[in-house]
Amino acid sequence: MKGKLSACNISIFLFLTLCLIGIHTSAQKIPPLKVKISVSPMVKDSFLKGGRLILHLKSEIQDRPGISIGVTPANWDPSSAFTIDTKNRNVMSRGLEELKGYTAEKYYCQVIYKQNPDDAGENVPGNLNSDVDSFEFPTNTEVALTLKNVIQPYKIVNNKFVKTVVIRSKYLSEFFGRARYLRASILLPSGYFDHPGKSYPICYRAAGLNGRYNQVNEVLNNKPFSDWWFSKAGPQIIYVFLDSRGPYGDTYQVDSDNNGPCGKALTEELIPEVEKLVHYNSKTNMRFLTGYSTGGWVALGLQIFYPDFFDGCWSYSPDPVDFEHFGLTNIYKDESIFYNRFGYLTPSDRTIYGDIKRTIKDRIEAENLGSKTGNYMLSGGQFGAYNAAWSPRGQDGLPSLLFDPFTGKIDHLIAKQWEKYDLKKVLEKNWAILGPRLQGKIWVWTGDMDRIYSNVATRFLKAFLDTTTNPKSDAKIIFTAMAGHMQEWSDKGVLTLIRERVDEKSK
C-alpha cells in the first residue's frame, strides 16, 4: 500500500542511515591540522613572494601512504609566520584521510617553499625548506616549522676529465626578459689528453624528466662504469650531459611558445660552445644523441627536428611519440584524459605484471597540489612539462591547458596545436623530405610492459615506419616482452652501441 514501509524497507532505511552516520562520524575523526611556517632571518634575503608552500607528512609506519598539503600564501610577509590550516578551502591536500581513526603515532614532516622562477621543480636550487621534524597526531594538531635552508646550486665533480659549460643564452634571455643560462657537463674519453687537437665522436645525453647536467656525478660514481670508461676498453667518445631546466618544468629541448626557443638555443648557442671547447669537427658527421624516458623523447625529437645536424639517436623508453596513443588516451578524439571511452578511470602507472599503481586523475591531483596556480600548469611535473612544451601560450601569458585540471575534459582546439610535436604525425606529413635524411639514424628500445604505457605509442610509430616507401625506413625499433620502463637502459650499454656505429662509419 502506498505511503507505508514494509519491515524490509525499514531495515534497509535504518542500515543506510547508520552507514551515513558512520561516514559522517568517521570524517569528524580527522581534527583540523594547523602548521605554522616561519622564515628564518638567515634566509629572508633569499625569500621571493608568490611561491608555493608544500608540506609533506610521512608516518613512521612504512607501509602507510604519505600525505601532501599545498597552498600559495597571498602577499606573505616573511617577517610574520604563515599558518597552513587544512580547514581553509584554499589549502589542497592528498592523503589526509590516512589520519582518520588512528591512535597517536609519529609523523615526520618537512615543508618546501617553491620559488625559483627559472625551475619549476621542488628540490631544486633557490627553493627554501625546513629541517625534517616529527610530531604525534592527533596528540598534537598544531605544528611549527621554520624555512631555514636555501637549496644550493648543483656542484659538478672535480675531475680532470670533466668540463662544465655555463653560458648566458641570448635567445632565451630575450624571450623571457631576464637572464637565462644554458648548462652542460662534459665527460672526456680516457685518451683525450694523449691526442691534443683530435676530433672525437660526441654524444649528447638527455636524462629523464627534469634531468640535470650534474648527472655526470652519478655516472662517475658508478664504479663499474668508471672503471670501464677509463680502461683501454672504454669508448673514445665525448659524452655530454644536457640540462633541461625550465620555468614550467622539463623543456624537452624544443622551440616552444612557453619555454622559448630551446631547440634553437641548444643547437646554435650551447652545442657550438661545447664543441669549440673540446675541438669537435662537425665535418666528421659523428654528432649523436641518446636519452631515456623524457630524454628518449628528446633524443628522437631532436633527431627528427634537426635531421642533418645530428647523425644518429639511441632512444630508450621514450615518452609518447604518438598523441593518438598518449598513454591510453587519444587527445584528438577522446573527451576526457581521466576516463576512457568505457567510463573507467584511465591508468597512469602499472607494474610489469599489469597491476595498476596510479591513475591519470591521481597524478594530476598531485600536480595540481604542487603548483602555485592550484593546477598542473606550474607543477614542474610530467603533465606540467608536457603542457608547457607543446601547448600554445594563453592570453594571460601562461601555457594554455590541454585539459581541465579537475574534470579531465580535453580541449580539442589545444590538442590540434600539439600536432607539430606529435612525432609520428611529423614523420607522416613530411616523410618525403625527412625520410632520406633519417636513414641510418633512428634506434629505439621500449619494454612492452612500459610503466607509463608509452610502448603503445611506440608500437604505432613502428607500424607507420614499416609502411614507408621512397625510402623504406631502416629505423631499428626494438621491443622486449615483459620489460618495464627503462629496464634495459645503461650508459655503458648505449655507448657500446654508439662505438659500434663509430667503427662502422670509420671503415
Indicate if the alpha-carbon torsion angle 215, 217, 220, 225 is positive or negative: negative
- Name the β-bridge partners of 313: 289, 442
E strand or H helix that includes residue 503 = helix 491-506
| Contact yes or no for 293/209 (Cβ under 8 A) | yes
One-character DSSP codes across 179-192: --EEEEEEEPPTTG
Indicate if the alpha-carbon torsion angle 342, 344, 349, 355 is positive or negative: negative
Note the pLDDT of residue 378.
94
Residue 337, CB-side half-sphere exposure with 13 Å CA sphere: 27
| Contact yes or no for 43/112 (Cβ under 8 A) | no
In angstroms, the CA 175 to CA 17 distance is 61
Q: How far is CA 221 from CA 60, 207, 229, 417, 491, in A?
A: 31, 16, 12, 42, 13
E strand or H helix that includes residue 275 = helix 271-278
Q: Is 238 exposed, middle or buried (0-12, 13-18, 19+ CB in 10 A)?
A: buried
Note the pLDDT of residue 302.
98
All structural domains of the chain, each given as residue ranges with its CATH number in brackets, are 27-150 (2.60.40), 162-322+422-506 (3.40.50.1820), 324-419 (no CATH)
Average pLDDT per block of 10 residues along the chain, 507 residues long: 44 42 44 91 96 93 84 94 91 86 79 96 96 88 94 96 98 97 98 94 96 96 97 96 95 98 98 97 97 98 98 98 98 98 97 97 97 95 97 96 98 98 98 98 98 98 98 98 98 98 91
In angstroms, the CA 48 to CA 55 distance is 18
Considering only CA atoms, which of 132, 136, 150, 140 is closest in space to residue 51? Answer: 150
Considering only CA atoms, which of 423, 430, 432 is closest in space to residue 470? Answer: 432
Summarize the chain as % helix, strand, coil (round to 5). Answer: 35, 25, 45
Which cell numbers hold the place of 94? 592528498
**List of residues 6+ apart from 162 with CB closer than 8 A:** 156, 185, 186, 187, 188, 216, 220
Note the pLDDT of residue 61.
78
User: 3-class DSSP state for residue 301?
Assistant: helix
Which cell numbers hold the place of 175? 624571450
